[in-house]
Amino acid sequence: MKVHGVFLVAVFFYLAYTQLISGQPLKDCQTSCGNVTVEYPFGTSPGCYYADDPSFKLTCSDKEKLFFRRNLEVINISHSGELRGWNNISYTCYNSQGNVRTYRHKSYMFNVVGYLRNLRNVSQFPLVLDWSIGNQTCEQVGNKSICSMSNSLCFNSTRGTGYNCKCLEGFEGNPYLSNEHGCRGTPQIVLSINITVRNKDGGFYCKCKSGYRLDTTNMSCKRKDFGWATILLGTTIGFLSILLVVSCVQQRMKHRKTAELRQKFFQQNGGGMLMQRLSGGGTSNYNIRIFTEEGIKEATNGYEESRILGQGGQGTVYKGILPDNSIVAIKKARLGDNSQVEQFINEVLVLSQINHRNVVKLLGCCLETEVPLLVYEFINSGTLSDHLHSSLFGPSLTWEHRLRIAVEIAGTLAYLHSSASIPIVHRDVKTANILLDKNLTAKVADFGASRLIPMDKEQLTTMVQGTLGYLDPEYYNTGLLNEKSDVYSFGVVLMELLSGQKALCFERPQQSKHLVNYVASAMKENRLHEVIDVKVMTEDNNREIKEVARIAVECTRLMGEERPKMKEVAAELEGLRVAKAKHQWSDQYPEETEHLVGVQIISAQVDSSSIGYDSIKNVARLHIEAGR
């Protein structure tokens, strides 16, 4: 019987030990002492505290006070590894080495705050101890820890040795127990019709319906209250929204007003008439492009001042760069009044068909602006005026250059007067309107003042046009500008080519301020050499210069009917140039020249009508007609 009884007792203690090390204390263990809760791994009796370490044993006195190691009164135990209590005050505590004494154990440690003074009438002092399980980390102990396997988590102690346990998020209870007192599920909450509780891994979360907020104090949903911040935010958002809507409406109205204004200008400048002509039937091959205002603004960089190429009586010319990187000249033309619109459109259409090598080509126009814009090809070597009167273009033009330029200008004007599909009067011929390309080829430009010649020339009345110094004096008496007006202006250009001086110069004597009077009086008094540019006067070209001067004087006669026609002028100048070329060729090839002279004598005997001016005219005609 004794043996049997001993065996039962041994079995009981074995089961108890097994239960303790697996995180299950014995039943009927004391759970409180006074007002302090006693929880595993701490306990007051064998089988109720952690079996591997008796340091977790606590003592409950008769006065229902809980003590750790007899003299430390326990007031609270935390699962996270803290023990709070009251400790008797000691002024000095030294260990055997003479240092401040430190109580140590393999499973707990506490320090005394050191040398305490001036604490009168105080017998105890609060103290916090850090405690942990064992002396191994979570990694070292592995799955042998006493933490609950399902709902608790092992973490290394903050004091450097051992480990502690804690419940997973969403669970509460004793993480060192695996029974019903261990880490439990969702806490009790107050439910309402406005709250929704949803599970998640390791816990739960609560969500209130729209318009409600979660009050965590009692886990209930309350209606949201809109404070001043919310009101201010709502007001600001509303104001900004109204401002945005108003801005959008204004932009739309501005865009609509701009579009209406562009359409108004387009019709006012003859856009409808132009489109009708372009879309009409017939064999005319109009080659003109209609530009938009946005395209012109982009090409001129908003009419930037640095893009201005020149300004004159007929408008301002800008340098423009099209999207394909081609360079053009964009001119703001000037119209007299609305009655001129039909003639302007006719000119645009006619000029768009002109394909003459010595006329600046009109590429297109823009009619969406208050002032019509004309787009021309860009000539990059300046004007004839620049080359004659400015030092910016290097050496002066030679006589050969000047004679060739005179022939090209004359041939162009003759073509416009006589050979174009509809005759055109330029009305503003001057050296500033003659452009030169990189080869010094003349390009007649600026047709802003040009007008088509009507069938009844007596109807060609106009407002003041032209430039002082080049303007036909007959215009002041008749108020008419016709093809003979271009002849007069060209005569002035010839005089500039001969003299290298400006058409109107107030530094010359009173009767010679106008270049026409200056050259005419020099011719009459046989002192032409005084007015001729010394840079071009040589013994070889003396006769040619006199002939050109004679032609210039004839072109600038007071009465228009006494002036030659442009095709006659072009023929004479071309004849001088051909004769000069023959002379130069004969000097280089004398034998061939003698043979050609014999042939010309025989030809002259056969047809005497070809002698003189008419034979020259036939040569010039080929040059003029070649422009089409």
Residue 528: CB atoms within 10 A of its CB come to 19
> What is the rounded CA–CA span in Å between residue 592 and residue 574?
22
Q: Can you give the C-alpha Rg of the chain in angstroms?
A: 57
Give the chain's length.
628
> What is the rounded CA–CA span in Å between residue 215 and residue 7?
59
In Å, how far from its chain's centre is CA 397? 46
Residue numbers annotated as active site: 428
The secondary element (H helix, E strand) that includes residue 347 is: helix 341-353
> What is the rounded CA–CA span in Å between residue 432 and residue 315?
13
> What is the rounded CA–CA span in Å between residue 146 and residue 134?
10
Token reading at 621 = 């005609």
> What is the rounded CA–CA span in Å between residue 195 and residue 220?
7
> What is the rounded CA–CA span in Å between residue 50 and residue 64?
22
Residue-wise burial string across 124-160, b where 16 or more C-beta atoms lie within 10 A, e elsewhere: eeebebbbbbbbbbbeebeeebbbbeebbbbbbbeee
In DSSP terms, which residues pair with 289 in a beta bridge? Answer: 364
> What is the rounded CA–CA span in Å between residue 259 and residue 488?
45
DSSP state of 387: H
Sequence-ordered alpha helix ranges (H) in 500-612: 515-524, 542-555, 566-588, 590-606
Ramachandran category for residue 569: left, alpha or beta (phi over 0 → left; psi -120 to 50 → alpha): alpha
Listed residue (129, 25, 34, 28) closest to 77, CA to CA: 129
Sequence-ordered alpha helix ranges (H) in 378-453: 384-389, 399-414
Whether the Cβ atoms of residue 133 and residue 162 lie closer than 8 Å to each other: yes
Listed residue (451, 523, 512) closest to 485, CA to CA: 451
Number of H helices and number of E strands within the chain?
Answer: 15, 25
Give Cβ neighbours of residue 33 (< 8 Å, ≥ 6 apart): 44, 58, 60, 64, 65, 66
